[in-house]
Amino acid sequence: MAARKLSLAWSCTEAPAMLKVAFATADRTHVDQHFGAATGFAIYQLDGERAQLVELAEFAEEGMDGNEGKLAAKIAALTGCAAVYCLAVGGSAVRQLLAAGIQPLRLDAAEPIDALLAKLCAAVRDGGVPWIDKALKKEADADRFARMAEEGWQE
């Protein structure tokens, strides 16, 4: 089976359904960090065909315990993301992420970001993954309301 390569260029005229996802990473190629102690997040925007790195968020190295204040800055850096992949995530962080509308996804072992992006693109294209379907519906509803506001309406 041939490997599928993800394109980084957007070249369509109609805006596709977009999803923004973050990955806790030290090496920028694998999900390899605990959420609370993550030194960086690679943030990608993707649709059913392509993924593009849109931001790298970096943080000073911190221990995993005892500093609840570190979570607010990390969650703020993920504003607009539908989900974050990490190797582990504490209960307090899970609650705060969910309250911010960000789905935490814990992996059992380090995985390449490219492989996860390929799976995510397929899920966006094909549907059937509840958190992705919900995030895309939320994005579509926001776009619809923005278009209505631009057009103006009368009662």
Output the domain CATH number for residue 135: 3.30.420.130
Q: Which residues pair with 23 in a beta bridge?
A: 42, 85
Contact criterion met (CB below 8 Å) for 34 and 110: no
Residue 86 lies in domain: 19-151
Rounded Cα distance between 140 and 146, Å, is 10
Comparing 37-46, 79-88, 136-145, which segment has the lowest mean pLDDT?
136-145
In a domain? residue 54: yes
In a domain? residue 11: no
pLDDT digits 0-9 by tens, 29-42 = 999 999 999 999 99
> Which SS3 state, helix, strand or coil, does residue 76 take?
helix
> In the predicted model, is pLDDT for residue 13 greater than 50?
no
Strands, E, within the chain: which ranges? 19-24, 30-31, 40-46, 51-58, 83-86, 103-106, 111-112
Strands, E, within 91-134: which ranges? 103-106, 111-112
In a domain? residue 30: yes
In a domain? residue 13: no
The total number of structural domains in the chain stands at 1
Strands, E, within 4-144: which ranges? 19-24, 30-31, 40-46, 51-58, 83-86, 103-106, 111-112
